[in-house]
Structure 1
Amino acid sequence: MTVTFNHTIIAAKNRAESARFFRTLFELPEAPSWGPFTNVQLSDGVLVQFAEPPVEIQMQHYAFLVDDGLFDRACARLRADGIEHWADPQMTRPGETNTGHGGRGVYFKDPAGHAFEMLTKPYL
């Protein structure tokens, strides 16, 4: 059997709010949830689970590859919702888009403070 990525758990201050932010931004339908998880299923079958851990949340980085159309719509949603985005992971170029690696990319924070990256071309 080959190795494929199945799921990840993202710590959230409010799992429903974080999942809703993620679903809305990336235009994903609701998925069945259970136990301490609010789930979002990506089109390739990967499950993203949001949970509220009983510990302080440390910022993590999550990057998502999207097509050009979704990138444009998601960036418009970020701007409409007043969510700051940056062209670089150091967050020194606010409001800009990264055009390195032959595509476009932006960095922004989700409701729990995680650093999300959205890009149109993979780095490799």
Structure 2
Amino acid sequence: MSIQLNHTIVPARDPQASAAFLAEILDRPAPVIFGPFHGVELDNGVTLDFMRVDGDIAWQHYAFLVSEDDFDEIFGRIRERGLPYWADPGHHQPGKINHGDGGRGVYWSDPDGHNLEILTRPYGSGGSGG
């Protein structure tokens, strides 16, 4: 049996702006419109489909595994935009990155408050630090 995540719906007040924000930060192609969705495709074929939601949005967490070079580029865009960032998912360590499992990781928020993360090593893959 082979099971793969294909897509997930990301609630957004302005799906076009939120999808464009993520695509620009991650240096992905422009979002693709499909019905009510603005999709950002990742290298493994998974698509984050931003969909308009009126009212309150419960934040979600989206983590992206990237190379060391990609981390530098993405983190550079985060800093160039003056976006707040944290070393931890609870946002208790502002202005820092983490070194979990011998890699690097950082968290920031999208326009709807979703907790975004880039990391260079999967959690539990070895190394030390935090």
Range into which the TM-score falls when normalised by the shorter chain: over 0.9
Q: In structure 1, what is the Cα distance between the partners aligned to 2:22 and 2:32?
A: 15
Provide the secondary structure at the position in 2 that maps to 1:86: coil
What residue number does 1:15 align with?
Answer: 15
> Bigger relative contact order, structure 1 or 2, given CA contacts below 8 A and separation 6+?
1
Q: TM-score, normalised by structure 2?
A: 0.90
Q: Which runs of 5+ in 2 are unaligned?
A: 125-130
- For structure 1, list consecutive stretches of 5 or more residues without a partner in the other structure: none
Equivalent residue for 2:87?
A: 87
Query: Which range is displaced more, 29-38 or 43-52?
Result: 29-38
Q: TM-score, normalised by structure 1?
A: 0.94
SS in 2 for 1:29: coil
- Across the two proteins, how many residue pairs are aligned to each other? 124
Q: Is the 2:103–2:120 Cα contact (8 Å) retained in structure 1?
A: yes
Per the TM alignment, residue 26 of structure 1 is displaced from its structure 2 partner at its CA by 0.8
Cα distance in 2 for residues equivalent to 1:75 and 1:17:
20
Q: Which residue of 2 aligns with 1:65?
A: 65
> Could you tell me which residue of structure 1 aligns to residue 5 of structure 2?
5
| 1:42 equivalenced with 2:42 (yes/no) | yes
C-alpha contact 2:11 2:53 (8 A) present in aligned 1: yes
After superposing on structure 2, the runs of 4+ consecutive aligned residues of structure 1 that deviate more than 2 Å are none
Does structure 1 retain, via aligned residues, the 8 Å contact 2:9–2:50? yes
Shift of 1:31: 4.5
> 2 CA distance for matches of 1:31 and 1:11?
15
* Match of residue 24 from structure 2: 24
Cα RMSD, aligned residues only? 1.1
